[in-house]
Amino acid sequence: MITTIQVSQATRGRLAALKSTPRESYDELIDKLLTLIPSGDKEGSYTDLFRMGRLNARLDARARRTLDHDGLKGRMGL
């Protein structure tokens, strides 16, 4: 089944820049990007909620929205 999704022009441009060939579909590209979020490990499969949490944690770390050990101790009053 084919469906449509709405993305901004800026997002569409960023996706287009990632295509490996001009003929590659956005569906193929999005599928590739989704494989970067692990579905599990040797102990079993991850839930979708866990996978989203893991992705958000990586994005927070990349944007420097995290605390180091000393910062966390300070926040907790230790």
Whether the full predicted model's pTM is greater than 0.75, yes or no, is no
Q: Which residues of 14-37 are buried (b: 16+ CB within 10 A; e: fewer)?
A: eeeeeeeeeeeeeeeeeeeeeeee
Report the number of distinct structural domains present in the chain.
2
> How big is the chain, counted in residues?
78
Q: Which whole-number Å values give the CA distances from 28 to 21, 31, 63, 64, 71, in the listed order?
A: 11, 5, 27, 31, 42
pLDDT digits (tens, 9 = 90+) for 13-60: 999 999 999 999 999 999 999 998 999 999 999 999 999 999 999 999
Residues 30 and 43 in one domain: no
Residues 11 and 45 in one domain: no
What's the domain range around 78?
38-78
Residues 42 and 74 in one domain: yes
Residues 18 and 51 in one domain: no
